[in-house]
Chain A
Amino acid sequence: MATMSTQPQTSATRFLATCAVTAALFILACKAIIDAPQEVTMGFVQKIFYFHVPCAWLLMLSTLVCAGGSVSYLFGGSERGDRVATCASELGVLFGLCVLVSGPLWAKAAWGVYWQWEARLTSSLLLWLMLVAYVLARRYGGSSARQLAAALALFAAIDIPLVYFSVRFFRSIHPNNTVVATLVPGMRGAFWLSLLAFTFLWTVLFSARLSAENAHSRLIDLEMLIDQAEEKKS
């Protein structure tokens, strides 16, 4: 049974500190992005890269965390793992949506079309659809919703290497993974700062969401304790 947090003030302080660091990182990242040189062919439009790539990274991170939580729930019976998986899936849907909106906006400017059925775009879309399916499964899957969703998460995790390595194995119009290593210094700094800021944002959102789930679980435990006490009295 989950216990009440014995140090609510410490965790609140930690959370606020993380929010402050995240905000600071975003301010620094924005400045770095504005100061970063413009890409020769795409010009200003290229700067969507500093938003798009971190969101893609967070889509994959969310899926990985969701899969990890699902394994510990399915095979270890860990309720915490199940809560972690739920929270990660929702963030995956959110950041996946950001990727699927920012990508086509950039594609229109760079390739002249919003969408192409090439390996990376297709596999990213599939990954996002699987996370949406996860959320649907949890909501409507009935008595075995959690097991169903957990199994789904494991199948979704298989798509991660497909998303990442797709540009290497398939001829693709999408920029490949070596782009980051070949960035000029001004761009490289802005990119890593942006990636760090988004990762902190993910951490903030994840811990807030997980906190809510943990609190809900504690509430259920308390309700059970109350029921038990009332039965003993009667």
Chain B
Amino acid sequence: MTSENPPRAQRALRVAKVSKNFGRQRALIDVSLEFSPAAVTAIVGPNGAGKTTLLGILSTLVRPTSGEIRLGDDALDRAARHRIGHVGHEPGIYPDLSARQNLGLFAALYALTDPGARVASMLERVGLSDVRGDLPARAFSRGMLQRLALARALLHEPEILLFDEPSSALDPTGARWLGEELVRERESGRLVILVTHDLDAAAQVASHIVVIRRGRVALDRQQAQGFAAHEVRGLYEEALRDR
């Protein structure tokens, strides 16, 4: 496997008093957080808590109603999109194109130098280099699609990696592989944010746990040494308890 070059800048991502309303629904209320580089932050919470909305705002695709997000000293806006990689429930690729064609397209969209080499390197990185070259992504298994999605997200060497429940619908092998990849990205210096329902998966990889409840930050805890599974469960239950 080729070694990854760590991203040049290692800057913190700061969310300051961000709120988001969808009509009468307040999806996020005064959320303030700081995400560190070379770390995995797991954002957990019940369904409808606002986790995906927060991730949408961090990806710059959703405009906050109020508040501000900064990457280091720079505002995180559309100009910073090339610094962001996103892996969601769905792989975000074109099913009629092959893996190589998909990555080639995104390499062109990101105006990468030497796109051919970069695509080959990414395919090898995620273990798809042996797949038949002309096989459309439609024929891939769920696990293969998520590998391709990760390759797409890493292709342009983003500073920030956002994962929105990436292991939903993955089998245990696939979920384990994804966990290993998250650790690998953390160790290469990337700022990784993972939205998940899976508290055990969060415990395995995260050194920063955020619990979102009804649009607000109910818990924000960092531990350099990481968390044990029972710790995460305990923190989660405490955060959700009605006071």
Contacts and interface: CB of A to CB of B under 8 A. Distances in A.
Contacts of A234: 242-243
A223 B242 CA distance: 21
Interface stretch (B22-30, B49-57, B113-121, B199-207): B22-30
Given A143-B22, A224-B26, A231-B214, 12 more contacts: A77-B63, A220-B23, A220-B24, A223-B24, A224-B21, A224-B24, A227-B26, A228-B26, A228-B29, A231-B216, A234-B242, A234-B243
Interface in B209-243: 214, 216, 242-243
7 contacts: A143-B22, A220-B23, A220-B24, A224-B24, A228-B26, A228-B29, A234-B243
What are the 8 tightest A-B residue pairs by CB atom distance, in nearest-first order?
Answer: A220-B24, A224-B26, A234-B242, A223-B24, A231-B214, A224-B24, A234-B243, A227-B26
Interface in B18-51: 21-24, 26, 29
Nearest to B65: A77
Nearest to B21: A224
B10 to A, nearest CB: 33
Interface residues of A, number: 9
Contacts of B22: 143
A234 to B, nearest CB: 6
A228 B216 CA distance: 11
Interface residues of B, number: 11
A65 B56 CA distance: 33
Contacts of A227: 26
Nearest to B24: A220
Contacts, number: 15
Secondary structure dominating the interface of B: loop
A220 B22 CA distance: 11
Interface of A: 77, 143, 220, 223-224, 227-228, 231, 234
Interface in B128-164: none
Nearest to B23: A220
A5 to B, nearest CB: 20
A227 B27 CA distance: 12
Interface string B1-30: 000000000000000000001111010010
A42 B89 CA distance: 69
Nearest to B29: A228
Nearest to A233: B243
A180 to B, nearest CB: 44
Contacts of A224: 21, 24, 26
B114 to A, nearest CB: 39
Contacts of A228: 26, 29
Interface string B87-130: 00000000000000000000000000000000000000000000
A77 B214 CA distance: 25
A77 B242 CA distance: 36
Nearest to A77: B63
Contacts of B242: 234
A207 B50 CA distance: 37
Contacts of B23: 220
B25 to A, nearest CB: 9
Q: Which of B22, B24, B63, B216 has the most CB of A within 10 A?
A: B24
B221 to A, nearest CB: 21
A223 B63 CA distance: 23
Contacts of A77: 63
Nearest to B213: A231
A10 B29 CA distance: 35
Contacts of A223: 24
Nearest to A217: B24
Contacts of B214: 231
Contacts of B63: 77
Contacts of B243: 234
A223 B25 CA distance: 10
Contacts of A231: 214, 216
B125 to A, nearest CB: 36
Contacts of B24: 220, 223-224
A83 to B, nearest CB: 12
A173 B214 CA distance: 63
Nearest to A234: B242
A224 B22 CA distance: 12
Nearest to B22: A143
A133 to B, nearest CB: 22
